[in-house]
Amino acid sequence: MKRVRFLITIVCFLTIFPFYSSESREHTNFSAIVDSQEFKDYWYDGKAEITSYKLEQARYGELHTGYAVHVFVTEDFSKSKQVKLDDPQNADGDDVKVLKLNRIKKFDTGIYRYSMMDSVFTPVYIDKYPNTLKITSSSQEWCGNTFTQLNLDSNGYEVRSFSYFESEGDREFNLQKEILEDELWARIRLDPKSLPQGRIKIIPAAMASRLTHKELEVEIAEASLQEDFDDPNLMNYKLVYDDSGRTMEITFNKAFPYEIISWEESSVSGFGEEAKILTTKATRNKVLISDYWKQNKTIDRVLRKKLGL
């Protein structure tokens, strides 16, 4: 009898608090969206969209000034090797089009600088490939280097994490297939309707995991999407994590190509008596559309000024 009551309680709980699962997502007709001329003209022009942001980064119980850069570009990606294809015409069906995000943060803490970077590879045709294929995340500062990589396989995500800290060390483990916080930026750019809402299972951002020294795991968060209170042309997407109380809010243009205007991230910063809740903030500075991989001469440094860097 107790077992029956327990099962009934669980069923009622799940009915009241349903979870948005990566296995049961209902998608817009992405093929129609990404095959549109508007999408092709913007994302398949042989160039990347580069956006710089003014950054206030919470670290060690204080806010530190710096900058962030988002580089969005479409690429042909190998489904089996999970690397950029050198010759996609001869991929023999192994190719998938991805919207890649290179996300960079640089900020100084006292005498030394943090340099952090993510690369996130999210399929353009989310209706055919509903999960991000790969994430790499690295951090360099004067204490040492760290590196984390997630690869999608048939069972979920294979995670490999390397750190100079003894307590973190070199680790390999697996996570079930759920939506990734790091892929939300690309989902906004592809179609904000693909963003999950309500109570969701989610794998937190790799950068956030590094800064909080918390191992990646599937967590529960409340996700919401609504019009910006101050500007009807903008939308706000917000995550609130159950356990940590950490919040992430991204503000973006309501109209295509859904440019990301700013974001805020609140969490505990610092250790021991220095620990306090602070809010990291980033606001858009400059935008440049460029085949930047060709702009590698001394004369091209002027483009950094155009980005406000």
pLDDT digits (tens, 9 = 90+) for 242-273: 998 999 999 999 999 999 999 999 988 877 77
pLDDT reported for residue 28? 57
Is residue 192 very low, low, confident or very high in pLDDT (cuts 50, 70, 90)? very high
Residue of 169, 58, 164, 159 whose CA lies nearest to 114:
58
Is residue 21 very low, low, confident or very high in pLDDT (cuts 50, 70, 90)? very low
pLDDT at 212 over 80: yes
H-helix or E-strand spanning residue 32: helix 30-34
Q: Which residues lie below 8 Å from residue 239, measured CB to CB, with a gap of 6+?
A: 181, 202, 221, 222, 223, 246, 247, 248, 249
Name the more confident of 9 and 196. Answer: 196
pLDDT at 109 over 50: yes
Kindly report the pTM of this predicted structure: 0.90
The predicted model gives 118-144 an average pLDDT of 96
Report residue 169 as tokens: 């060390």
pLDDT reported for residue 34? 87
Q: Are 268 and 276 in contact (CB under 8 A)?
A: yes
3-state secondary structure of 144: strand
Q: Which of 11-15, 81-85, 193-197 shows the lowest mean pLDDT across its residues?
A: 11-15
Distance, in Å, from the CA atom of 68 to the CA atom of 46, rounded to the nearest integer, reads: 23
Residue of 241, 232, 234, 299 whose CA lies nearest to 260:
234
Beta bridge partners of 138: 117, 147
Name the more confident of 164 and 2. Answer: 164
Cis-peptide, bond into residue 18, ω within 30° of zero: no
The predicted model gives 274-296 an average pLDDT of 94
Is residue 274 very low, low, confident or very high in pLDDT (cuts 50, 70, 90)? confident
Beta bridge partners of 161: 148, 171
Q: What is the pLDDT of residues 154-173, one digit of tens each?
A: 999 999 999 998 888 899 99
Distance, in Å, from the CA atom of 202 to the CA atom of 180, rounded to the nearest integer, reads: 6
Name the more confident of 165 and 296. Answer: 296
Distance, in Å, from the CA atom of 64 to the CA atom of 108, rounded to the nearest integer, reads: 6
Percent of the chain past pLDDT 90, that is, above it, reads 80
pLDDT reported for residue 167? 85
Q: What is the pLDDT of residues 46-76, one digit of tens each?
A: 999 999 999 999 999 999 999 999 999 999 9
CA of 64: how far to CAs of 268, 275, 307, 308, in Å?
15, 15, 20, 18
